[in-house]
Amino acid sequence: MARKTTQKPARSKTAAPAPKPMTPLAQDKGKHPYASLDRSAMGSLARMTSGLSPHAVLDAWGDWAMHMARAPGRQMELMERAQENWLKLAQFTSATMLGKSPAQPFRPGKYDTRWSHKGWNKPPFALWQQGFLGVQDWWQAATADLRGLRKQNAERTGFMMRQLLDTVSPANFPTTNPEIIEKSWQTAGRNLFDGAVHFADDAQHVLAHEHRPVPEEFALGRVLAATPGEVVYRNELMELIQYSPSTKTVQAEPVLIVPAWIMKYYILDLSEHNSLIRWLVGQGYTVFCISWRNPGAEHAELSLEDYRQHGIMQALDVINALVPDVKIHANGYCLGGTLLAIAAATMARDCDDRLASVTLMAAQVDFAEAGELLLFLDESQVAYLEDMMWAQGYLDRPQMSGAFAAIRSEDLIWTRAVRRYFLGEPDLPTDMTVWVNDTTRMPARMHSEYLRGVFLENRITAGRFAVEGRVIALKDISVPMFVVATESDHIAPWRSVYKTALFTDCDLHFVLTKGGHNGGILSEPGHKRRHYRVGHRHPGAHYRGPDGWLAAHDPIEGSWWPEWGDWLNRQSSGEVPARDPGDAEKGYPSLCAAPGSYVHQA
């Protein structure tokens, strides 16, 4: 017998009204009219700098320079390091010129793939490479923590110096990169001609602000996002997809998936072999998924609360109507997981017991250790971004994707540029790269609230995040939780994700899986060279730090998906006959086939 649950009154089944567009003076009502001039000026400047505040840059370097000037000990230390690095390079050069094969004194970073060609092991290329890495090593030491220097500014200067050095890397130029020289010789320069064509094509799309369509060989609904299903509800903010069952019976409790709104939902429904949604349907679950719309300037006033109310809560109401008298397993990915945690805490506070469990995948609830994305997030930077969004109504695709790419610029920017523009190699699309390039916008008000309240001020775990005028607390969540983090995540570092265990008291399973922010989540059964760790925290148990947890849990070979599936089964109450999508008699007919219409919005 399925478990019964207390249901909230159903929301209106009609679509939510369209939000009013934000007028230029909407956020400056009651202020001096010159405030609009200030915001317009800053918004124009922000678009020129891709949203990077000049004040944040100058403040970081000024702070670093003043503290370095009054630190004679650090200056002497850096002088000694420069001498040591020069001596290492001199010894390496001498041995190399004498025909020996000495060990390289400097090694590239973990994600730096620019030096993989065998030509970098031979002179003169090896000398240029080691000279570059030696300078990089010195600047890394020069921008390390310094007594009195703000840690954020130390990290900022180090980050900016890495970006600057990357622009003059010998790997970037045809005359100093052995791989480019070799390819040019083999093709009689055809690679450079092809690269020029690629550059012209990319420049045309960038200057025209054109969004590249999804390639036909990865057509949405046919190759990607192809799990059969129907859109059973639509409002101004989202479409709700219910997937068709592939088993005769299903678990009584359905699953609601809440993706991030920064990208399109089908990261969880890519190709047939790595679709988490298809796999979950095959495990005998009734699966629902939110597909967020791609907002424009007319949606500038959409708030974070709108995403909770007209997104998650509306979806729960629809599911309650279609699948009555049972609780719901909720799964949130990335920002969708953060919003789901807010919704779950609010429901717990309001005695709304419709959730059977909560799964968070690569989602943070505490942002004190949110990685390099925090480097330039301060009051000046947030205000700068707000002015840019105020002027255009949203945060645009390039302004977001550029920030993520800069964190791994050596691999995501420069390596790609060399291969595309100098080696003449086309970008061969994969299901993952097609999804990465199919980005969305974010409404100005919602993103401002997220940056300030959630990211900058860290209100969720500080006990200062209010929903409907009252503060919420994650410790109120009493349903079982399953939290997934990935080992090399540069967007949601795993130690930050792990802090969910610090701010909750419920039964909690924590999984740490191999891979990055996206690849670690898409770790389907049969994926080679995959492993994960899993630990169980009983309700009320003492907190264990991330390093202690890591030391206590050995890797398990394989995919974490079956581990999650077994956990979901333990939280479920039994099987019932399979359910077809929608129900016209209940007011939720099929509106169109999955993946719906919002996913196609450019």
pLDDT bracket for residue 12 (50, 70, 90): very low
Give the length of the chain: 602
- In the chain, the N- to C-terminal Cα span, in Å, equals 45
569 falls within a domain:
no
pLDDT bracket for residue 243 (50, 70, 90): very high
Q: Is the pLDDT of residue 27 over 80?
A: no
pLDDT reported for residue 149: 92
CA nearest neighbour of 50 among 168, 206, 175, 179: 206
Q: Is the pLDDT of residue 6 over 90?
A: no
Gap between the Cα atoms of 195 and 178, Å rounded: 17
77 falls within a domain:
yes
Q: Is the pLDDT of residue 127 over 80?
A: yes
Gap between the Cα atoms of 227 and 243, Å rounded: 7
pLDDT bracket for residue 40 (50, 70, 90): confident
| Digit-coded pLDDT (tens) for 80-119 | 999 999 999 999 999 998 888 899 999 998 778 899 999 9
From the candidates 334, 351, 506, 592, which is the catalytic residue?
334
Q: CA dist 318 to 292, 312, 507, Å?
A: 16, 10, 28
Residue 583 phi, psi dihedral angles, 5° rounding: -165, 100
126 falls within a domain:
yes
399 falls within a domain:
no
Cβ neighbourhood burial of 475 (10 Å; 0-12, 13-18, 19+) = middle
pLDDT reported for residue 202: 86
pTM of the shown model: 0.87
Q: Report whether 513 contacts 560 (CB < 8 A).
A: yes
477-488 average pLDDT score:
97
Gap between the Cα atoms of 554 and 33, Å rounded: 62
pLDDT bracket for residue 245 (50, 70, 90): very high
Give the pair of three-digit tokens for residue 4.
């019964």
pLDDT bracket for residue 1 (50, 70, 90): very low
pLDDT reported for residue 52: 73
pLDDT reported for residue 545: 95
Q: Report whether 557 contacts 563 (CB < 8 A).
A: no
* Residue, of 146 and 39, whose pLDDT is higher: 146
pLDDT reported for residue 31: 58
pLDDT reported for residue 26: 44
Q: Is the pLDDT of residue 410 over 80?
A: no
pLDDT bracket for residue 14 (50, 70, 90): very low
| Digit-coded pLDDT (tens) for 52-65 | 778 888 888 999 99
261-289 average pLDDT score:
96
Residue 525 phi, psi dihedral angles, 5° rounding: -55, 135
78 falls within a domain:
yes
- Which amino acid does the sequence have at 381? Q
Q: Is the pLDDT of residue 414 over 50?
A: yes
pLDDT reported for residue 403: 56
516 falls within a domain:
no
Structural domain count of the chain: 1
DSSP string, 539-576: TTPPP--HHHHHHH---EES-SHHHHHHHHHHT---EE
pLDDT reported for residue 378: 76
213-227 average pLDDT score:
93
pLDDT bracket for residue 70 (50, 70, 90): very high
Gap between the Cα atoms of 52 and 45, Å rounded: 9
Gap between the Cα atoms of 166 and 160, Å rounded: 10
| Digit-coded pLDDT (tens) for 147-170 | 999 888 898 899 889 989 999 999
pLDDT reported for residue 490: 84
Residue identified by tokens 């993946």 is: 595
SS (H, E, C) 148-183: CCCHHHHHHHHHHHHHHHHHCCHHHCCCCCHHHHHH
Q: Is the omega angle on the peptide bond into residue 595 within 30 degrees of 0, that is, cis?
A: yes
The mean-pLDDT minimum among 389-398, 493-502, 549-558 falls in 389-398
Rg (C-alpha) for the chain, rounded Å, is 26
CA nearest neighbour of 365 among 533, 578, 510, 580: 510
Give the pair of three-digit tokens for residue 594.
């999955």
- 230 CB-near residues (< 8 Å, 6+ apart): 241, 242, 244, 581, 582, 590, 591, 592, 593, 594
Give the pair of three-digit tokens for residue 185.
């010789």
pLDDT reported for residue 399: 55
101 falls within a domain:
yes
**What is the chain's mean pLDDT, rounded?**
88
| Digit-coded pLDDT (tens) for 520-550 | 999 999 998 999 999 999 998 999 999 999 9
pLDDT reported for residue 440: 87
pLDDT reported for residue 19: 41
Q: Is the pLDDT of residue 413 over 90?
A: no
User: 59 lies in which domain range?
Assistant: 54-184
pLDDT reported for residue 276: 97
Q: Is-catalytic flag, 334?
A: yes
pLDDT bracket for residue 377 (50, 70, 90): confident
122 falls within a domain:
yes
pLDDT bracket for residue 9 (50, 70, 90): very low
Beta sheet of 355-361, edge-to-edge order: 556-557, 531-537, 508-513, 481-486, 355-361, 328-333, 255-258, 287-292, 238-243, 229-234, 592-593
Task: Quote the crossing angle between the two packed helices 190-207 and 178-187, to the nearest 10°.
Answer: 110
